[in-house]
Amino acid sequence: MQADDPLLLLVSHDGQRLIVSGIDDAGEHIILLRLAGFRDSDLDSYYRLVVNRDGADWTFVCPSGYQNITDKAGRMQQFYKDGFRTIPHALEAIGYLVGIDIPRRYRRHVDFM
């Protein structure tokens, strides 16, 4: 954090679990999850971010079974709302008061809403 190297951050949907690593140590979120002792299939239970002092990039991937909402647009809207309620608390807990951005490559999901 002192060098402002990017961090990988996984935030459980309920906000109760944070898994953090330097990006150079884990490389990607699925590897971070494995290193923390969790199964690959648990990845859909987390919001995925890359964070540094410039901001937090949210890898916006809404799981198809999120909260058992069958309507795709409704599911993505709820995921978006819940993420923006939960993620800021996680960022604050690790000492980052930064904005959240959804990078262009993930915006197709947001544009769908």
Contact 60, 106 (CB under 8 A): yes
Contact 28, 45 (CB under 8 A): no
| pLDDT of residue 104 exceeding 90 | no
- What predicted TM-score, i.e. pTM, was given to this entire model? 0.89
Q: 82: how many CB neighbours lie within 10 A of its CB?
A: 17
* SS3 state at 30: helix
pLDDT in tens, 13-53: 999 999 999 999 999 999 999 999 999 999 999 999 999 99
pLDDT in tens, 42-101: 999 999 999 999 999 999 999 999 999 999 889 999 999 999 999 999 999 999 999 999
